[in-house]
Amino acid sequence: MTDIVEPLPIVVGVDGSAASVEALSYAARIAAALDVPLAAVTTWTYPVMLDPFDPGTEWSPKMDAQRCLLDTVRAAFQGSPPEHFSQSVVPGRAAEVLIEQSDRASMLVVGSRGHRGFAGLLLGSVSAACAAHARCPVLVVHTPMPHPVTSEAPRASAPPGKR
């Protein structure tokens, strides 16, 4: 008798940033090549200053996270997610939730920096924490850097001794 083992999914942390759109798109190509499921995960928490029991509060971080996930999926797949794709919105801090999800993942994929990233940093706090503590391989995806446009043609350097 042989047991059929379901392959572990590739889990992607999504926060709506350009890096997470790129990460989700890239992870989908890997999942298709390896024939494994793909799971997008977005997290949410209540801000410290927001009273979740205030009846006057109409803003919901959970609804905001769900909207963010839908927008990211649309952007990454032009509205047509791949087969064997799942998505979930999970309460908790992003790094903690993704590290916990790594227990049941063949790979964890994150963008290099989220919305709150400081310019010039190569890794954000979530991607760095995942790379350091996840219990599966981690892929950190960087967004493509635009090439600066210059009006000058590159200068050829003179051969040695001809300067």
Residue 138 · residue 108 · CB < 8 Å: yes
Q: What is the mean pLDDT of the chain?
A: 84
Give the pLDDT confidence of 27-47 residue by residue, as tens digits. 999 999 999 999 999 999 977
Tell me the whole-structure pTM to 2 decimals. Answer: 0.80
Whole-number Å distance between alpha carbons of 129 and 94: 10
**Residue 40 forms beta bridges with which residues?**
12, 87
Whole-number Å distance between alpha carbons of 136 and 25: 20
Question: Predicted confidence band at 93 (pLDDT cuts at 50, 70, 90)?
Answer: very high
